Structure 1
Amino acid sequence: MSALAAAEAPHIDWAGLSPLLALFVGAVVVLMVGLLRARFARLTLVPVLTIVAFAASAGLAVWQWDEQGSIMSGALALDSLAQVGVIGVGVAGVAAVLLSIGATAPREAAHGEYHAMMLVAAAGMAMFIGGQNLITTFLGLELLSIPLYILSATELHRRRSLESGLKYLIVGSVGSATLLYGFALIFGATGQLDYAAIAREVTAQDLGSDPLMLGGVAMVVVGLAFKASVAPFHQWTPDVYEGAPTPVTAFMATATKVAALIAFLRLFDVALVGTSGSWGPALAALAAIAMIVGNVGALGQSSMKRL
């Protein structure tokens, strides 16, 4: 029995997983330190430890720059694309923490919880960026989304902040449900969860024009477009960004976009490359609409956060 369990145990590359672990461990440490009653611990030590966790994650990604492979039996990728994403998220996280110094949101949400949620969201982004499996990708998406729903509503005295969190929760849930349904259709068409295996099945069974597969691809495009606030699925973004605390808005507007872009690239360039004839024109149309709507809409905008 023990030999069978050992044979079935998944291989985990702990060194490759270290940027993600730095964020999770940092979140736990920051949460514990935030419980201390000393003013120095809450106002100084918590932000410093959060910056250290973000910097450690980015530094470990730089250290692994030449590594190529996979982690956790292929569930997560260890490559330059994932490392670029982790570094970008780390830089955005450090900037958001610096912006949070003196802000009202950390005080109202409690410093430990506020900074810990930021680290957990970043860990979700790292998982979302490196996902090579439909389940891993979806778990990463939810892990980054749920803390951001809460962070958007951390200025409890402002009605706009609470409204921002509620709007983000509702629209984000719709986007997540759409994406999950698309993943389910893709799994139904191919019988696979791994990106590389999906690509092989699409080629072997000639699923490029299969209605079930195309329906899944369409749902995935819409779900990710909601999450990345790509026009015309962006209507929620100005209200949420304006109502959320400024450091949270900065974090969402940078780190989330980096994660979404890399997840887009990995999913469509690996798993769905065999259906590029269908999603290629759709993504080109979305890109054109996003540029036109974004720039035209910005002309009459006076609020920097909505812009």
Structure 2
Amino acid sequence: MPMWRRTVGLLGGSFNPAHGGHVHISQMAIRALGISEVWWLVSPQNPLKPIMGMAPMAERLARAQAVAATDPRLFVSDLEARLGTRYTVDTVDRLRRRYRRCRFIWLMGADNLAQVSQWRRWPRLFHMVPVAVLARWPYSLKALAGAAARRFVHERVSPKKARILAGRKAPAWVFLPIRPHPESATRIRATATLWWEGACLSQRKSPVHACDMHHSLSATLPTSLANDKAEDIIVVDLNGKTSIADYMVIATGRSSRQVGAMAEHLMERLKAQGVVVSLEGMRECDWVLLDAGDVVVHLFRPEVRMFYNLEKMWGGPEITGQGAI
């Protein structure tokens, strides 16, 4: 039996302002991870965000409490202000010491994973608690090609095993391809600069961003490959390296049959999203190339992947044949 009594997701941020999107990702995390509750840690001042345009702490806290009141599993806290910590790694360290019967999972959007390498002692955070990354357009592919995803490529857990993440020893992390939510703090601030003066106290519906195609790719690719038990999935950022695509996804199937099935299922799912797709290599299925325009996907049998070593050629993390996700 585990020694902890509660499994808690920690969602830190400025909450400038809190909105329905925060509720959405918290509920998706509870469902996917099997955790009991989510704590919203309202930061006095994010070191990476400008002070200009930041609402007063008291107003952000009050707004967050009002928004979170829609779900009894969501709790809003000013612990960071009361603890006197400035950086996430220090906050989490203090929480682990204070609440020893809680098992924490750090929750972050794909936008934060993309720039987590700028955080103070960020590898330490991954070694302290499991991390769950929630998909967010348009950052997901960039995040999966970023420094943290490359460094901890072998510690990544399949979304199908997300409910056991809390019991995994850190470092362990999962990427959760959740459905998008139309609200964003950036758009709310753009609509009403001084939202805390009453302009945005009611929840408002914003139109979904126009670029749905990129979201289809960033949400469908990880889900489809994980469902087909692909191994050693990595994403390589090609921006500035070539004009053929923005991102390259590489994954392994244990047999030609599995590689072929992965390719067929991925093609079907992308086409259902309206993405134009072409396939090469389906005859032998040793190496299948799926071209989806901005993203190219290479699916290999293990020995073929090791031979061609596209990771090394394009600057991605090298795969040694271990660490299936």
Q: Which has the higher strand share?
A: 2
Q: Which has the higher helix share?
A: 1
Higher RCO structure (Cα 8 Å, ≥6 apart)? 1
TM-score by length of 1: 0.30
